[in-house]
């Protein structure tokens, strides 16, 4: 349990890094999710230290449930707390979805300890995210689009609306059920998903933002990142490959990789491919390549 502003956050370390192989720290999405979906990446612990952690009010971390803690800078400060607690002299950092926001902000601080950065299906700009989401919704069947539109027009979101949202998620969030060991692990978490945190910072669904992130725009930060960076997207990602390419072009040392047959949850849609992609990316970083 690592002390941070507002409480303590849970972190687990697997494996040990050998010469030339820096640890990998991974930040989950949400806001409000937990580290469980990253369990497939622990195969990398055969070659290096892998650190997974839960943000405050998530998973196994303390749960003060105080909205005063729910700010971007405070969540970014958690990364430095993790680094200090484990004595990391050099490390790679991956952030997925909302965790990508944390990774972007941390990378833009240009910490000397950062060896490489992975922005996985990242939330870089809320406006861009919503524009992409609207395009993805437009590709759904007409009856699903109609239900979503009616729910947004009236503010009434019942079972039919929930089914329509589920159709969106099934197309762009996760294509496959997580492996059984991930589901079993998730079921034992004290907080599997913090809906209050999600609603406060984001809103009622992936394609509607009414929370504190509504005006977030981190795109100008991309040019400030000096670490080699991979933008990683699934073929059917909520953060689409075309948008990932836009972000990668703005990085000093950036490139894009797209995982076939995966949506936003690449790590559970295609776990073996995910591990292989991370292995290659970390090796490239350590060879001085993006």
Q: Can you give the CATH number for the domain in which 225 is found?
A: 3.40.50.1820
Which helix (DSSP H) or strand (DSSP E) does residue 13 occupy?
strand 11-14
The domain of 51 spans 2-136+177-286
In angstroms, the CA 222 to CA 159 distance is 40
pLDDT, one tens digit for every residue, the chain (290 residues): 999 999 999 999 999 988 889 999 999 999 999 999 999 999 999 999 999 999 999 999 999 999 999 999 999 999 999 999 999 999 999 999 999 999 999 999 999 999 999 999 999 999 999 999 999 999 999 999 999 999 888 888 899 999 999 999 999 999 999 999 999 999 999 999 999 999 999 998 898 899 999 999 999 999 999 999 999 999 999 999 999 999 999 999 999 999 999 999 999 999 999 999 999 999 999 998 88
How many structural domains compose the chain?
1
CA 205 to chain centre: 16
Supply the pLDDT for residue 34.
Answer: 98
Residue 169 domain-assigned? no
Residue 150 domain-assigned? no
Residue 38 domain-assigned? yes
Residue 46 domain-assigned? yes
Q: Which residue, 118, 173, 36, 162, is CA-closest to 285?
A: 118
Please write the tens of the pLDDT for every residue from 80-91. 999 999 999 999
Residues annotated as part of the active site: 97, 237, 264
Residue 48 domain-assigned? yes
Residue 171 domain-assigned? no
Q: Which two tokens stand for residue 206?
A: 């992936």
Please write the tens of the pLDDT for every residue from 140-176. 999 999 999 998 888 888 999 999 999 999 999 999 9
Supply the pLDDT for residue 204.
Answer: 87
Q: Which two tokens stand for residue 47?
A: 């070659």
Residue 41 domain-assigned? yes
CA angle, 91 then 95 then 96, to 5°: 150
């Amino acid at each position: 349990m690592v002390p941070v502003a507002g409480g303590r956050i849970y972190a687990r370390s697997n494996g040990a890094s050998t010469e030339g192989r820096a640890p990998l720290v991974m930040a989950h999405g949400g806001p409000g999710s937990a580290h469980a979906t990253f369990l497939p990446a622990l195969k990398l612990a055969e070659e290096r230290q892998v650190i997974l952690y839960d943000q405050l009010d998530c998973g196994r971390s303390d749960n003060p449930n105080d909205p005063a803690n729910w700010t971007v800078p405070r969540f970014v400060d958690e990364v430095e707390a993790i680094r200090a607690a484990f004595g990391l002299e050099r490390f790679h950092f991956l952030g997925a979805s909302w965790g990508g926001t944390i990774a972007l902000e941390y990378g833009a601080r240009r910490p000397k300890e950062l060896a490489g950065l992975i922005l996985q299906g990242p939330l870089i700009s809320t406006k861009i995210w919503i524009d992409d989401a609207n395009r993805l919704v437009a590709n759904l069947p007409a009856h699903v689009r109609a239900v979503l539109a009616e729910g947004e027009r009236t503010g009434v979101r019942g079972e039919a609306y929930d089914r329509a949202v589920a159709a969106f998620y099934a197309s762009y969030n996760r294509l496959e059920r997580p492996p059984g060991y991930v589901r079993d692990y998730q079921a034992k978490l004290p907080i599997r998903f913090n809906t209050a945190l999600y609603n406060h910072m984001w809103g009622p669904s992936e394609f509607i933002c009414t929370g504190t992130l509504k005006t977030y725009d981190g795109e100008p930060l991309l040019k400030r990142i000096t670490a080699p960076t991979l933008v990683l997207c699934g073929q059917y990602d909520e953060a689409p490959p075309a948008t990932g390419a836009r972000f990668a072009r703005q990085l000093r040392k950036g490139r894009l990789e797209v995982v076939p047959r995966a949506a936003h949850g690449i790590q559970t849609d295609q776990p073996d491919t995910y591990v292989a992609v991370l292995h290659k990316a970390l090796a490239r970083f350590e060879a001085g390549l993006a």
